[in-house]
Chain A
Amino acid sequence: MIVYKGIRKAAVKYQQEVACWILLMFFAICSQPLSSLSATPLKKASLILLWSPQSQFAGYYVALEKGIYQRHGIDLTILKGGPGVSPVLALQQGDADFAVLWLTTAFGHRVNGKRLVNVAQIIQRSSMMLISKKTSGIRTINDMNGKKVGLWQGDLSIPPHTLFDKYGISVREIPQSNTVNLFLRGGIDVTSAMWYNEYHVLLNSGVDADELNTIFLQEQGMTFPEDGLYTLEKTVQKDPALVDGFVRASLEGWQYAFAHPDEALDIVIKNMRQAQVPANRTHQKWMLERMKDLTVSDKNEFGTLKPQDYEAVGKIMRNQGRIKSYPDYATFTWRSDARK
C-alpha cells in the first residue's frame, strides 16, 4: 500500500509539473503579441485647455475618450482651464506639455522670451463679436465712441482694442466677467461675445437675434485666428514624435467629433458634469456646430496656421506697438512634415 501511495504521490507531482509547464508555455505564447505591442510604452503627456470643459474643446475630449491619443502612443491627461488658470504658466512650469492658446497670446509671450511653438491651428478666424441692443442705437464701431463697452481682461481684449485704435475711438472700458448679465441688465452698452458661446447664451436668455446689433471682428479686418495648439520649443526638440502624434490625434479627434456630433456632445457633457460646471446640451450643440464652421472653413488648411494670417496678426500687433518684432513663420510654427 505504501509503495502504491508513493507512486501515486509521484504521479500527482508529475501531473502538477506538467500543468505548470503548460501554463507557462500558454503565458509565453499569449504574452508574445502583447509584449510586441507595448514594445514602446505609452508616453505620458498633458494638455491644458483655455477654459473649463465645453464643446470648444470637443476634439480633444473625443480623441481621449475614443482612444485616439492612445493609438498614437500617448497617455494624455487633460487639465481643465477656467477663470484664474494660465495655460502659458502651466506650460512654462512644466505642469502641461501642450496648451490651447490664442495666437495673440502666444505672440505676446514669445516676445517676452517664452519659446512657444504653434504645432496646430484649430480656429482659423476670429469668432469674436461686439454686440449691442438695437434699442441703444449703436450700429457701427464709431457709434461705440464714449460708450460703456464690456471687454474681457488680458489677451482677449487685444482684437477689440486693435479695432478701436483702427477707428480712432475711445470707449469706456468695463471689465467683463464670464456672464452676460451685466449687458442684459444694461450695465454696459456693448458686450464682447464669442459667436460660439456668449452670443448663444444671450439668445437663450430670451433675447431674440433681431433685437441685437452684432459686429464680427473678422469682418472688420481683425483676422485673428484663435484657438491653436502650442508647446515649448524644447518639447519639440526633445520628442518630435510625441508632438507629431499629439497633433495628429488631436486633429483626428476633431474630425471624429464633427462627423459624430451626438457622440461628441455626450462626451463633452460627461466631462462637464465631472467638472461640475453647468451643462446645457442645446448650448453645447450650438458651440460644436460653430466650432465646425470656424475650424473647417478651408479643408486644405485644416489644422494649419496660414502664413498670411500669421503675418497679418504680427503686423497688426507690431503696428500697435504691442510687440516690437515677431519671429518668422517657420520658427514660430512646427510641422512634422515640414521638418521631414
Chain B
Amino acid sequence: MQHLPGGLMPGSKSIVTRLILVITLSSSLIFALTLGYNYYQSRIILEKELENNARNLAMSLVNKVESELVSVSKVTEGVARSLETGRYSEQELHSLIRNTVAGNAGIYGSCVAYEPYAFSRTNRLYAPYYYRENGTIKLIRLETSYKNLPYLYWDWYQIPRELGKSEWSEPYYDEGGGNTLMSTCSVPFYEEHGGVRRLKGIVGADITLDSLTELVSSVKILKTGYAALLSRNGMILAHPLKGAIMNETFFSIAESRQEASLREIGKRMIRGESGFVFYRSLVGVRSWMYYAPILTTGWTLAVVFPESELLEHVRTLSMTMAVMGFGGILLLTIAVVSLARSITKPLRSLVAATKLMGSGNFDVELPAVISNDEVGVLTNSFRLMVTSLKEYIKNLTETTAAKERIQSELKVATDIQASLLPRLFPAFPDRPEFDIYASMDPAKEVGGDFYDFFFIDHHNLCFLIADVADKGVPAALYMMVAKTLLKSEGQRLGEPDLILSYVNNILATDNDSCMFATVFCAILDTRTGEVRFANAGHNPPLIMTSAGIQYLAVQSGFVLGPIQDIVYKTESITLQAGDTLFLYTDGVTEAKNPGEELYGESRLLHALQCAPKEELCDLIHYIRSEVRAHAHGAPQSDDVTMVALKYRGTVADA
C-alpha cells in the first residue's frame, strides 16, 4: 500500500481527479445555464407584468390630468359659444369672465381677447383678463399689461386664430399677464355679419403647470422611479431633473447624449403614440418606460421603472439560488469523491497486486472479488492470467531442463567424437620420416567429418580423411561406424582400394537411411615416400613440393555407402623429402561469407602458397584462420577438417 499512490499521484490524471473535474464542471455548467435561463425568463415575465402595471399607472395618471384639462376645455368652449350667441355688455362680459374663474377651481385665469376694433370702434385692442392672486380674483387688461409684444402675437392668441380652432398652448411664462408658468386653452369665437362668419376674438383659460406637475411628481415608483410630463414639443414639464424643466427638450437631451434612439422615442411621443420601451433614462439609468399621450393637449405622460430596482427581487433570488447551487455542487463533489474512491479502491489494490506480479511474483494474493462489476471481472481475468502464466512458466522450465539435458549429452558426444580422432601431436614422435597434423571443427555439436591415421605395419602409415553427408547426430553415428570400419579394415587389408571397396560393401548393406560418405584413403611407405591412395568421391588433396603447390589429379571414385560392389582404384605418387600432402573436406572450400560467396579452391591454393610451411601445425592454423576471415562472422555451415602430412625422408636420406 505504501508505494501504491505512486501511480495515482494528484496531477497524474487519476480516475478520481477526472471524475471530480468532469462531474463538477458539467453540473456547474448545467446549473449556471439553468440559473441564467431562470433569470432571463423571470425578467421576461416581470417585463410583461410590468408593462401592464406601467400602462395602468400611466393611464390612471393620464385620466386624472385629462379630466382636469377636459373640464377646462369645456368651460372655455362654453364661454366662447355664449359669446357667439348672446350679446354682452362690457359689464356682463366682465362678470362672465370673472365667474368662469371663480366657478372653476382648475382655472387659474381667463380672458376674452378681441381682434382689432372688434370690441369697440374706438379702441383697437381689448382683452380683459381675470386671474387668481393671493386668494382673490384680479383684473388686468392685457392690451396694456403686455409690454413687449401685443397679445395679438402671443401663441395663445395667434395659433387658434390662424388655425381657426381650439388649441392648448405650449407651456409658457406669462410675463405681464398671469406671471406664472401656464398653459392656455384658447377657443376662437366668431360673429355672423351679413352671412360672413368673422373671427371676433379668442377666449382663453389658463391652468398653472404647478398643479399638474405636482400631481405627476408626487408619483413615486419603487425607490427612484418616477413619472414625467412632456409637452407637444418634447419640452420637459415635470421630471426629477429639476434643471431640465422648461429648459431641455427630450430632443436636446438626445442631442447632447448623441443618442439617435432616444430621439426616436421622443418622436414617437410627440406623434401621440404610446409604447413600452427599455432605454437609458434621462437621469442615465437603464429603465423601462411606458408613455402615453394626453390627447387634449398633445402632451406625453411617461412612467419610468429603473431596471435595477425592478429586478432586485429576481437578483436576490438568483443570488440565493447561486449560493444554494454552489453548496449543492460542493456536496456533489464530496459524493463523487467518495464514490470514486469506493470504485477505485479494489482497482488500487489490484494495481498493487499486479505491480508485484510485474516483478515476477506470481504467488501474490489478488484482492477478493466483492461485487460482479467491471473491477471484479478484471480481477478474475487477472487471476486467470496468473494461472495461465504459472502453467506456461512451469512448461517452459521443464522444456528448458530437457533441452539442457540434451545439450549436455551432446557435449559428451562431442567429447567422445573428439576423443575418437587422434588428437595428440606430434602423433609419432619416434618417427622422424614424416610429420602429420590434423584438425576438425564441427559445425554443430557433433560432426560428420573425420580423419584418421595409423600404422598398418612398421613402415606403412595409413591416413585418411572423410566426410559423411549431412551433419549432426546421424552423421556422427555414421561416422563412428565408418571410422571404426576403415580403421579395422585398413589394418587388415593394407591397400586403399581394397579398404574402400570392403568398407563400402559393409556400409551399403542395410543402408536404409541412404547415408553416404566421401573418403580419401592413402598409405604412406615411410621408407620410400611412396603414397598409395584411393578416392571415394572426396575432394582431391593438394601436394606441396619444392616445385610448387597443386591439386593432385586423382580419380574421383564413388562415395561410400549407397551402392555395393563399387571398385576403387589405387594410384600412387612418391613424395620427396619435404613434400607435403594437404587433405581437406568441402567445409573448407565451401565456407561462405555473409554474401553467400564460397571460399573456393583457388583461394585455398593461394592461401597454401602464403602459409608457413615448416610446421604443419602452423600451416593448418593459418588456413583455418584464413577460412574464418573469409566467413567474416557468417555461421559455419559445414564441418571444417584438414589433414597435412609432410614427408621428411628416411634417416639414411637425411
Which one, B152, B155, B158, B233, contacts A206 given CB within 8 A? B233
- What is the bound-complex CA distance between A73 and B430, given in angstroms? 158
Please list the residues of chain A having a beta carbon within 8 angstroms of any beta carbon in chain B. 82-85, 148, 174-177, 179, 181-182, 184-188, 203-206, 208, 278-283, 285
Q: Are A187 and B159 within 8 A (Cβ)?
A: yes
CB contacts between A and B, total, < 8 Å: 80
Residue of A nearest to B163 (CB): A187
Q: Are B247 and A174 within 8 A (Cβ)?
A: no
- What is the bound-complex CA distance between A206 and B232, given in angstroms? 9
Which one, B233, B234, B247, B252, contacts A181 given CB within 8 A? B233
Which one, B149, B232, B246, B255, contacts A83 given CB within 8 A? B149
A255 CB to closest chain B CB (Å) equals 25
Which residues of chain A are near B147, meaning CB under 8 Å?
A: 84
Which of B147, B159, B234, B270 has the most CB atoms of chain A within a 10 A radius of its CB? B159
Which residues of chain B are near A205, meaning CB under 8 Å?
A: 233-235, 249, 251, 270
Residue of A nearest to B249 (CB): A204
Which residues of chain A are near B148, meaning CB under 8 Å?
A: 82-85
Which of A85, A181, A184 has the most CB atoms of chain B within a 10 A radius of its CB? A181
Which one, A174, A182, A281, contacts B256 given CB within 8 A? A281
Question: Given A182-B159, A187-B163, A282–B169 Cβ distance below 8 Å?
Answer: no
Residue of B nearest to A286 (CB): B255
Q: Are A283 and B252 within 8 A (Cβ)?
A: yes
14 sampled A-B residue pairs with Cβ under 8 A: A83-B148, A84-B147, A176-B153, A177-B149, A177-B158, A179-B155, A182-B155, A185-B163, A187-B158, A188-B162, A278-B247, A279-B247, A282-B255, A283-B252
Which residues of chain B are near A208, meaning CB under 8 Å?
A: 267
- What is the bound-complex CA distance between A283 and B233, given in angstroms? 15
- What is the bound-complex CA distance between A283 and B159, given in angstroms? 25
A278 CB to closest chain B CB (Å) equals 5
Is B250 part of the binding interface, using a Cβ–Cβ cutoff of 8 Å? yes
Is B266 part of the binding interface, using a Cβ–Cβ cutoff of 8 Å? yes
Q: Are A177 and B163 within 8 A (Cβ)?
A: no
Which residues of chain A are near B255, meaning CB under 8 Å?
A: 203-204, 282
- What is the bound-complex CA distance between A170 and B233, given in angstroms? 31
Chain A to chain B: the 5 pairs with minimum beta-carbon distance, closest first:
A84-B148, A187-B162, A83-B148, A205-B233, A282-B252
Q: Are A185 and B167 within 8 A (Cβ)?
A: yes
Which residues of chain A are near B170, meaning CB under 8 Å?
A: 179, 181
Residue of B nearest to A184 (CB): B233
Which residues of chain B are near A177, meaning CB under 8 Å?
A: 149, 153-155, 158
Q: Mark B159-184, 1 if CB is under 8 A from A, else 0.
A: 10111000101101000000000000
Residue of A nearest to B152 (CB): A175
- What is the bound-complex CA distance between A182 and B156, given in angstroms? 10
B568 CB to closest chain A CB (Å) equals 134
Which residues of chain A are near B253, meaning CB under 8 Å?
A: 282
A158 CB to closest chain B CB (Å) equals 19
Q: Are B252 and A204 within 8 A (Cβ)?
A: yes
A146 CB to closest chain B CB (Å) equals 15
Q: Are B163 and A181 within 8 A (Cβ)?
A: no
Which residues of chain A are near B530, meaning CB under 8 Å?
A: none
Which one, A175, A186, A204, A285, contacts B153 given CB within 8 A? A175
Is B248 part of the binding interface, using a Cβ–Cβ cutoff of 8 Å? yes
Which residues of chain A are near B266, meaning CB under 8 Å?
A: 206
Which residues of chain B are near A188, meaning CB under 8 Å?
A: 162
- What is the bound-complex CA distance between A129 and B154, given in angstroms? 22
- What is the bound-complex CA distance between A328 and B233, given in angstroms? 47
Which one, B154, B161, B251, contacts A204 given CB within 8 A? B251
Which residues of chain A are near B246, meaning CB under 8 Å?
A: 278
- What is the bound-complex CA distance between A203 and B256, given in angstroms? 13
Q: Are B270 and A206 within 8 A (Cβ)?
A: yes
Q: Are B252 and A185 within 8 A (Cβ)?
A: no
B297 CB to closest chain A CB (Å) equals 12
Q: Mark B234-268, 1 if CB is under 8 A from A, else 0.
A: 11000000000011111111011000000100110
Q: Interface range on chain B: under 10, 10 to 19, 20 to 34, or 35 or more?
A: 20 to 34
- What is the bound-complex CA distance between A285 and B248, given in angstroms? 13
Name 15 extra pairs, CB < 8 A, besides A204-B252, A280-B247, A280-B249. A82-B148, A84-B147, A181-B159, A185-B159, A185-B163, A185-B167, A187-B162, A188-B162, A203-B251, A205-B234, A206-B233, A206-B263, A208-B267, A278-B247, A282-B253
Residue of B nearest to A188 (CB): B162
Residue of A nearest to B266 (CB): A206
Which residues of chain A are near B155, meaning CB under 8 Å?
A: 177, 179, 181-182
- What is the bound-complex CA distance between A283 and B251, given in angstroms? 10
B251 CB to closest chain A CB (Å) equals 4
Within 8 A of A (CB), among B195-236: 232-235
Q: Are A174 and B162 within 8 A (Cβ)?
A: yes
- What is the bound-complex CA distance between A205 and B172, given in angstroms? 15
- What is the bound-complex CA distance between A10 and B246, given in angstroms? 74
Which residues of chain A are near B235, meaning CB under 8 Å?
A: 205
Within 8 A of A (CB), among B11-43: none
- What is the bound-complex CA distance between A148 and B252, given in angstroms? 28
Residue of A nearest to B255 (CB): A282
- What is the bound-complex CA distance between A175 and B263, given in angstroms? 31
Which of B154, B233, B246, B255 has the most CB atoms of chain A within a 10 A radius of its CB? B233
Q: Mark B136-162, 1 if CB is under 8 A from A, else 0.
A: 000000000001110011110011011
- What is the bound-complex CA distance between A213 and B614, given in angstroms? 137
A241 CB to closest chain B CB (Å) equals 36
Which residues of chain B are near A83, meaning CB under 8 Å?
A: 148-149
- What is the bound-complex CA distance between A185 and B159, given in angstroms? 7
Which residues of chain B are near A85, meaning CB under 8 Å?
A: 148
Which residues of chain B are near A185, meaning CB under 8 Å?
A: 159, 163, 167
Which residues of chain B are near A82, meaning CB under 8 Å?
A: 148
Q: Mark B343-360, 1 if CB is under 8 A from A, else 0.
A: 000000000000000000
Which one, A175, A179, A186, A279, contacts B163 given CB within 8 A? A186
- What is the bound-complex CA distance between A283 and B250, given in angstroms? 12
Residue of B nearest to A175 (CB): B153
Q: Are B234 and A204 within 8 A (Cβ)?
A: yes
Residue of B nearest to A185 (CB): B159
Residue of B nearest to A187 (CB): B162
- What is the bound-complex CA distance between A179 and B162, given in angstroms? 15
Residue of B nearest to A176 (CB): B153
Q: Are B159 and A282 within 8 A (Cβ)?
A: no
Which residues of chain A are near B172, meaning CB under 8 Å?
A: 179
- What is the bound-complex CA distance between A206 and B253, given in angstroms? 11
- What is the bound-complex CA distance between A336 and B160, given in angstroms? 53
- What is the bound-complex CA distance between A184 and B234, given in angstroms? 12
A225 CB to closest chain B CB (Å) equals 26
Residue of B nearest to A178 (CB): B149
Which one, A176, A181, A206, contacts B249 given CB within 8 A? A206
- What is the bound-complex CA distance between A260 and B170, given in angstroms? 35
Which residues of chain A are near B248, meaning CB under 8 Å?
A: 280, 282
Which residues of chain A are near B161, meaning CB under 8 Å?
A: 187
Which of B158, B162, B250, B255 has the most CB atoms of chain A within a 10 A radius of its CB? B158
- What is the bound-complex CA distance between A175 and B153, given in angstroms? 7
- What is the bound-complex CA distance between A82 and B176, given in angstroms? 14
A157 CB to closest chain B CB (Å) equals 13
Which residues of chain A are near B252, meaning CB under 8 Å?
A: 204, 280, 282-283
Which residues of chain A are near B234, meaning CB under 8 Å?
A: 204-206
Which residues of chain B are near A280, meaning CB under 8 Å?
A: 247-249, 252
B220 CB to closest chain A CB (Å) equals 28
Residue of A nearest to B149 (CB): A83
- What is the bound-complex CA distance between A136 and B266, given in angstroms? 23
Q: Are B153 and A282 within 8 A (Cβ)?
A: no
B142 CB to closest chain A CB (Å) equals 14
- What is the bound-complex CA distance between A82 and B148, given in angstroms? 9
Residue of A nearest to B270 (CB): A206
A284 CB to closest chain B CB (Å) equals 10
Which residues of chain B are near A278, meaning CB under 8 Å?
A: 246-247
- What is the bound-complex CA distance between A177 and B250, given in angstroms? 23
B242 CB to closest chain A CB (Å) equals 13
Which of B154, B234, B252, B255 has the most CB atoms of chain A within a 10 A radius of its CB? B252
Q: Are B251 and A206 within 8 A (Cβ)?
A: yes
